[in-house]
Amino acid sequence: MTTSAIPEAGAVPQPKQRSKAYWMLNDARVLSGRYVNHIVRQPDEIITAIMIPTVMMLLFRYMLGGGAVDVGGTAYVDFLVPGVLSVGVTLTAVSTTTGVFMDMQEGFVDRLRSMSTVAVSVVVGHVVAAVLRAAISMVVLVALAFVVGFRPQAGLLQWLGVLGILLVFAFAVAWISVLFGQIAKSQAGASGLALILTFLPYSSNVFAPTDKISDGLRVFVEHQPVTAVIDSVRALLLDQPVGNSAWLALLWWGGIAALAIPLSARMFRRRFA
């Protein structure tokens, strides 16, 4: 017969030991909640990520949608919307970059050093909030696009493919933004670095087909990473052949994220070790 060990009267129960990975995920969850709450308390960030591409969509939809740009047999609004979605994703870079910079300058991370907190969870929290902002922006932009005449031909699997590609894109953009926030020397500098990502879609085929772009610029447009995102999303939404564009988009932005994540984490640890 076996007996269970009975704790002595007055003994203090010992806390259950947890792994470092557990505490990192737990800290990231808590800090993600902090940054997600910023979206509610500071709605100007998400409003900016929605208003700018919305104005762009309305402007080009009604200025160029009457046939000023030849996009073949596709309605111009259907051609335009996939590119506008990519613009909405990159606009989250400014708030993420400046948010990381301010956390480092205002002592928030320093306060965490006196606590049993995995400090790198700060950047993970920023990434989660950035991807959420991008997702909200995408949903609102698609809804507004239907109002102005967007009529995609995609089925359920194609919509899921669009969502997957755009989320990978948003994830990579968030990690690059975190990296920029760490290397910036001022708040203005952080915003300036973020503009590199914000303006990248404008040098792609957002507003006109690649074959309509001048020869010198076309080479860059064809091979820059945002073009692969737009081409794949456009093809999926319009039920057209995707070709290699989806794989190129995932390879481009998955590879960029794979480089940015360890580099950003290492820089954070070295700075706040």
Question: What percent of the chain clears pLDDT 90, i.e. is strictly above it?
Answer: 32
Q: pLDDT band at residue 1, thresholds of 50, 70 and 90?
A: very low
**Backbone dihedral region for residue 109 (phi beyond 0: left; psi -120 to 50: alpha; all else: beta):** alpha
Residues 6 or more apart whose Cβ sits within 8 Å of residue 184: 97, 101, 190, 193
- Judged against a pLDDT cut of 70, whether residue 87 lies above it is answered with yes
Residues 6 or more apart whose Cβ sits within 8 Å of residue 103: 109, 122, 126
- Judged against a pLDDT cut of 60, whether residue 201 lies above it is answered with yes
Q: Which residue has the tokens 């772009």?
A: 213
Exposed/middle/buried for residue 166 (C-beta within 10 Å: 0-12, 13-18, 19+): buried
Output 133 or 9, whichever has higher pLDDT. 133
The DSSP symbol for 207 reads S
d(CA 213, CA 84): 18
The DSSP symbol for 252 reads H
Mean per-residue pLDDT, 165-185? 93
For the ranges 68-77, 132-141, 196-205, which has the lowest average pLDDT?
68-77
Six token digits for residue 200: 């990248």
Angle formed by the axes of helices 92-105 and 156-183, to 10°?
40
- The CB density around residue 110, as the number of other CB atoms within 10 Å, is 13
DSSP 45-75: HHHHHHHHHHHHHHHHHHHTTTTTS--TTS-
Q: pLDDT band at residue 103, thresholds of 50, 70 and 90?
A: confident
Residues 6 or more apart whose Cβ sits within 8 Å of residue 125: 28, 30, 31, 32, 33, 34, 35
d(CA 119, CA 111): 10
- The amino acid present at 224, given as its one-letter code, is Q
Exposed/middle/buried for residue 91 (C-beta within 10 Å: 0-12, 13-18, 19+): buried
- The CB density around residue 209, as the number of other CB atoms within 10 Å, is 14
Task: Give pLDDT, residue 236.
Answer: 95
- Judged against a pLDDT cut of 90, whether residue 112 lies above it is answered with no
Mean per-residue pLDDT, 40-46? 71
Question: What percent of the chain clears pLDDT 70, i.e. is strictly above it?
Answer: 77
Q: Which residue has the tokens 């500098």?
A: 189
Q: pLDDT band at residue 101, thresholds of 50, 70 and 90?
A: confident
